[in-house]
């Protein structure tokens, strides 16, 4: 495991070299916090927002969702698609390492830098909005749900990029899945706003395990008595996607061909 720790460290250092991009991301997030606060303030002022969540909880929800996106939008598995296009995936498969674990550690290194960025982003965001801070027990449950959601998100990205073994390009697939995920994961609009059977269906999808469950735990919509049920759903999606990723990767390795002269 020492090798994979080193991979993560190198990814962290590599990502940190792009300082201007780092500052741009922080600035972009602060602007989005301000715009979302203005949007939800206007909707609640006009009674145009669903009343299933109080105004202040909604502001907290939207701000924490943006901070989470700073981490969850990092996709270390994108390297799969790039290496397939370059042809270097053939030599990668010859190395005495687990490539899926390498991609995970590389993405984790990038994620750790973005996690560090959450701190200044949070401080800037607090200048614009005031968000609730949950009790230690609730925050611990949120952190666990967030960790499970992070791994589910990794496997989802891994599966999308592994499709490149058959298609050589996955941009269109990723774009569609990203749009669907942004809408149906609860990142933009809480899933509790969707009524009846539609809301129940959205909660049953894997996207809810990435954003909605941690966020609803944070703002208290999911009470402690129901933590076990929601965390279990996350674990089930993690196991399902993990097993599917293992099968796809095994098939993908047999799919590798050498192109060109």
- Quick: pLDDT tens for 41-70: 888 888 867 777 888 888 889 888 888 888
Residue 129 scores a pLDDT above 80? no
Q: What mean pLDDT do residues 158-169 have?
A: 80
* CA 192 – CA 52 distance, rounded (Å): 7
In angstroms, the Cα distances linking 163 to 94, 179, 252 are: 20, 18, 8
CB-based burial label for 41 (10 Å; 0-12, 13-18, 19+) = middle
* CA 243 – CA 28 distance, rounded (Å): 36
- Among residues 25, 103, 30, the alpha carbon closest in space to that of 70 is found at 25
Residue 113 scores a pLDDT above 60? yes
pLDDT band at 180 (very low <50, low <70, confident <90, very high): confident
pLDDT of amino acid 261: 40
Q: Model's pTM, two decimal places?
A: 0.84
Token digits of residue 132: 């609730």
- Among residues 210, 234, 228, 199, the alpha carbon closest in space to that of 53 is found at 199
Give me the chain's average pLDDT, please.
82
* CA 190 – CA 199 distance, rounded (Å): 10
* CA 257 – CA 225 distance, rounded (Å): 52
* CA 133 – CA 115 distance, rounded (Å): 18
Q: What mean pLDDT do residues 192-215 have?
A: 88
- Among residues 121, 116, 144, the alpha carbon closest in space to that of 131 is found at 121
> Using one digit for the tens of pLDDT, what is the confidence trace for 212-260?
999 999 998 999 999 999 999 999 999 999 999 989 888 877 766 555 4
pLDDT band at 9 (very low <50, low <70, confident <90, very high): confident
The percent of residues in the chain predicted with pLDDT above 70, rounded, is 90
**Residue spans per domain, the chain:** 2-253
The percent of residues in the chain predicted with pLDDT above 90, rounded, is 20
Contact by Cβ (8 Å): 84, 168: yes
Residue 204 scores a pLDDT above 70? yes
pLDDT of amino acid 239: 94
pLDDT of amino acid 22: 66
Residue 161 scores a pLDDT above 80? yes
Token digits of residue 114: 């973005």
């Amino acid at each position: 495991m020492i090798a994979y720790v080193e991979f993560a460290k190198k990814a962290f250092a590599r990502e940190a070299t792009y300082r201007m991009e780092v500052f741009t991301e922080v600035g972009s997030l602060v602007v989005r916090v301000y715009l979302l606060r203005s949007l939800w303030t206007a909707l609640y002022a006009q009674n145009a927002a669903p009343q299933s969540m109080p105004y202040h909880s909604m502001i907290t929800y939207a701000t924490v969702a943006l901070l989470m996106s700073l981490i969850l939008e990092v996709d270390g598995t994108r390297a799969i698609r790039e290496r397939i296009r370059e042809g270097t995936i053939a030599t990668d498969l010859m190395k005495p390492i687990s490539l899926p674990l390498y991609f995970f550690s590389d993405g984790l290194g990038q994620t750790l830098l973005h996690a560090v960025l959450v701190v200044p982003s949070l401080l800037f965001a607090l200048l614009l909005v005031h968000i609730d801070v949950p009790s230690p027990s609730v925050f611990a449950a949120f952190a666990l749900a967030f960790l499970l959601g992070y791994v589910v998100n990794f496997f989802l990205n891994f599966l999308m990029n592994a499709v490149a073994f058959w298609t050589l390009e996955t941009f269109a697939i990723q774009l569609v899945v990203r749009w669907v995920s942004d809408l149906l994961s609860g990142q933009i609009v809480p899933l509790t706003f969707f009524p009846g059977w539609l809301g129940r269906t959205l909660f049953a999808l894997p996207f809810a395990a990435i954003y909605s469950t941690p966020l609803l735990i944070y703002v208290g919509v999911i009470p402690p008595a129901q933590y076990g049920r929601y965390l279990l759903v996350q674990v089930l999606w993690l196991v399902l996607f993990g097993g599917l990723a293992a099968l796809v990767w095994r098939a993908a390795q047999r799919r590798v061909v050498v192109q060109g002269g």
